Structure 1
Amino acid sequence: MNIMGIPMDSSMRGPAEQFLTWRAFGAPPVVIALAAQGTFHGFKDTTTPLYAIGAGTLLNAILDVILIFPFGFGVGGAAVATVISEYLIAIILLWELNGKVELISPKIDWSKVSLYFKSGGLLIGRTIATLGTLTLATSLAARQGPIPMAGHQICVQIWLAVSLLTDALALSGQALLATNYSQVNYQQARKVIYSVLKIGLATGFPLAVFLFIGFEALSGLFTTDAEVLQIAWSGSLLIYLNAVAFVLDGLYYGVSDYEYVAVSVVVVGLISSAFLLVVAPLFSVGRVWNGLFLFMTLRVVAGFWR
């Protein structure tokens, strides 16, 4: 059996198994923390999640250094550090949320529960389509060996960093748009849409320039291997579209148009996955990132189309 497309005799297989085994214990706090963050965002409280995630990130960084090097746990130590930090984040968020809402309510409105499951199911479909495409790309990169995989992972980390940075814009736009839309203040809602889109476009370009100029310094945080850096460079310039794609998603969430987001991302994911399966195996890992670039481009096109 292959893990993420890693062959049985690959030097990457052992560390991958070790990391995934430990990371599995972090699934419960991740789900709890994401749900709690969504609740705080609904209250327009972005401060509490910031403090909670900041504390968890600081703990993660400290434990990484301790567990990976002095204790010699390697990749497994990185996974354990992440899991511990995720539990800390979940505990902080639940503690603070308990002062705002009744976490275990004796009264349940089943009509709202069904609506919640419908919306949640659509968003799960969207998430599966996104992660499925990224997982396929990672699998194809892993099949090409440790060096292409290392370059690919640097690109993935930068991709995630850009995604999280622009997700802040999406969440802000989502909260403001939802407020105006629910109050039937459509004129103000349009202003929010236009403002957020302009900010997203204005953010995407500087991010692209920053990646171009600062790539050597950023990539140096991961490795000094020239071959790995060359592969990472081939994919790094394709990341800037995230800024627009994530902002568009936030706007659709603001008007509760989960169905369009889910269906469009699933269709885009299928098209991009087909491209990856046909084209990527024939060429280098750079073609893998061409497939991901296609995925992000089609997401932006679908967002503007609506």
Structure 2
Amino acid sequence: MNRRAPAHRDIWQLAWPMMLSNLSIPLLGAVDTAILGHLPSPVYLGAVTVGGSLLSLLFWSFGFLRMGTTSVAARAEGANDRAGLHQVLVQSLSLALALALALMVIGPWLLAPALAWMGPSPEVQGLALEYARIRLWGAPASLMNFALVGWFIGRQDTRRPLAILFTTNGLNIVLDALLILGFGLNSEGAAWASVLAEYGGLTLGLWLVARTLHRLNLGRGQPSLLGEVTRWRAYGRLMRVNRHLFVRTLCLLSVFVFFAAQGARMGNHILAANAILLQFLLLTSYALDGFAHAAEALTGRAIGAGRIGDFHLATRRSTLWALGCSVLISAVFVLGAPWWPTVFTSQPEVLDIVRAHYVWVCLIPLVGVWGYQLDGIFLGSGQTAAMQYTVLIATGAVFAPLWWWLQPLGNQGLWLAFVVFNGARGALLGGAYYHLTRKGGWLAFK
């Protein structure tokens, strides 16, 4: 097994496939936004924004399946625990399927009251409800893909997640064009495109993981598939990590949904403008997440092997690259300010609002990079409790009171509170990093 210290080359070998695959996700959202944003009415874009935010809350509430699987698998890889690698894969996929089926049963009862609370116009609300109900059919594929991608990243294999996510999002873009432009299905077509693409990605992912298990002889000599699934006591490590990540993810998504809801209450044009502005945020976060994923895999391997020096080296080197990338992204946004917004919409009212708020787009990369990168470091090391508590503080003690105080500023105040929230996450995690380093607590979850 390779025990050498993590080099800059290792970081890039892990980061670039995830950066490409992650960028395909906001690219998909950008294509949705561009296609729907050029339709005669803003209600279709508003419906996908509101319905998509709600489905993101439901699906990404279970995003711990990706992160928790990565955390446990990375440490098993570092410890050369082949049985543990097989076990976390089987149990993560089983947990994902069980949660998805429960979501499909419970979800339809939650959608209408949740959309009513978000407060969009009646026309947008009806289309958003239709969109969300269709998207629920993709829950098993979406959640199982989380587990598959997380397992591959934990093994420091980011090329197969690249294939899965590129396939999923490529299919989605093609199906968007076919169903929205070809068949005129508008927001309903965007929903069916997402569902069909998720199952296409899952099919490829299961084939890739089967080949990997066969190549590495993982699972040979282990309990049967049913035996792994029903080893209830063995779920303890996975569930401990996932419990913290569930709370953390729920807080983050609650802020996003609240953000979308406040925009919806300010009118369809502000709702559509915020949807466009958030595409820049997603481009930023998914690009920087490539280095966060590299940090997850490398720090997890170092902790699993008990090599604290390699842990700190991986932390410093991956963070250096992330900072450089954030400066580059911000510069691209600043230089492209005159024409980037016109890529997404041709509606004059929406375009004016986007340009008036564009400064927040330029600040987000520099403010948010710290939270993204430290998330990866804490996740890889298994220190997920700190992730939970810091985001709870950032949500309850920073974002909520600041938004309340800034309400007279309208949408500008909403964006200011959101940007400060992202900065607070990074500052709080930075404090937790310093504390753990001082007391030598990083090997607690080896």
Is TM-score (shorter-chain normalized) higher than 0.5? yes
| 2:300 aligned to which of 167, 171, 178 | 178
SS in 2 for 1:45: coil
CA contact (8 A) 1:166 1:246 kept: yes
Deviation, 1:203, is 1.4
> Does 1:151 pair with 2:263?
no
> Does 1:142 pair with 2:268?
no
> Does 1:257 pair with 2:388?
no
Higher RCO (CA < 8 A, seq sep 6+): 2
The size of the alignment, in residue pairs, is 306
> Does 1:90 pair with 2:199?
no
What is the alpha-carbon distance in structure 1 between the residues aligned to residue 152 and residue 249 of structure 2?
21
Q: Which has the higher helix share?
A: 2
CA contact (8 A) 2:116 2:125 kept: no
> Does 1:290 pair with 2:412?
no
CA contact (8 A) 1:67 1:73 kept: yes
CA deviation map 1:87-111 (0-9, x unaligned): 1111211221123255935246544
| 1:28 aligned to which of 140, 156, 171 | 140
Q: Which residue of 1 aligns with 2:164?
A: 52
Q: Which residue of 1 aligns with 2:361?
A: 236
CA deviation map 1:25-52 (0-9, x unaligned): 2222111001110111111111111011
> Does 1:72 pair with 2:184?
yes
With 283-292 and 32-41 compared, the bigger mean Cα shift is at: 283-292
> Does 1:61 pair with 2:173?
yes
What is the alpha-carbon distance in structure 1 between the residues aligned to residue 398 and residue 128 of structure 2?
25
CA contact (8 A) 2:118 2:261 kept: yes
Deviation, 1:198, is 1.3
Deviation, 1:273, is 4.1
CA deviation map 1:115-168 (0-9, x unaligned): 211111111111000000111111111100011111111122221221111111
Aligned pair in 2 of structure 1 residues 216, 226: CA closer, same or farther (>3 Å)? farther
Aligned pair in 2 of structure 1 residues 58, 216: CA closer, same or farther (>3 Å)? farther
Aligned pair in 2 of structure 1 residues 188, 149: CA closer, same or farther (>3 Å)? same
CA contact (8 A) 1:60 1:82 kept: yes
Could you tell me the TM-score, scaled by structure 2's length?
Answer: 0.65
| 2:227 aligned to which of 106, 111, 119 | 106
CA contact (8 A) 1:129 1:266 kept: yes
CA contact (8 A) 1:238 1:289 kept: no
Deviation, 1:206, is 1.3
Could you tell me the TM-score, scaled by structure 1's length?
Answer: 0.93
Q: Which amino acid is 1:248 matched to?
A: L
Aligned pair in 2 of structure 1 residues 272, 156: CA closer, same or farther (>3 Å)? farther
Q: Which residue of 1 aligns with 2:327?
A: 205
What is the alpha-carbon distance in structure 2 between the residues aligned to residue 62 and residue 198 of structure 1?
37
Q: Which residue of 2 aligns with 1:227?
A: 349
SS in 1 for 2:227: coil
What root-mean-square deviation, in Å, do the aligned CA atoms of Structure 1 and Structure 2 show? 2.0
Which structure 2 segments of 5+ residues have no match?
A: 1-112, 433-446
CA contact (8 A) 2:386 2:429 kept: no
What is the alpha-carbon distance in structure 2 between the residues aligned to residue 276 and residue 152 of structure 1?
19
What is the alpha-carbon distance in structure 2 between the residues aligned to residue 45 and residue 124 of structure 1?
24
Q: Which amino acid is 2:376 matched to?
A: G
CA contact (8 A) 1:2 1:8 kept: no
CA contact (8 A) 1:151 1:231 kept: yes
SS in 1 for 2:336: helix
Q: Which residue of 1 aligns with 2:125?
A: 13
> Does 1:301 pair with 2:427?
yes
CA contact (8 A) 2:121 2:268 kept: no
> Does 1:123 pair with 2:245?
yes
Q: Which residue of 2 aligns with 1:188?
A: 310
What is the alpha-carbon distance in structure 2 between the residues aligned to residue 23 and residue 272 of structure 1?
33
What is the alpha-carbon distance in structure 2 between the residues aligned to residue 170 and residue 112 of structure 1?
28
> Does 1:3 pair with 2:115?
yes
CA contact (8 A) 1:4 1:138 kept: no
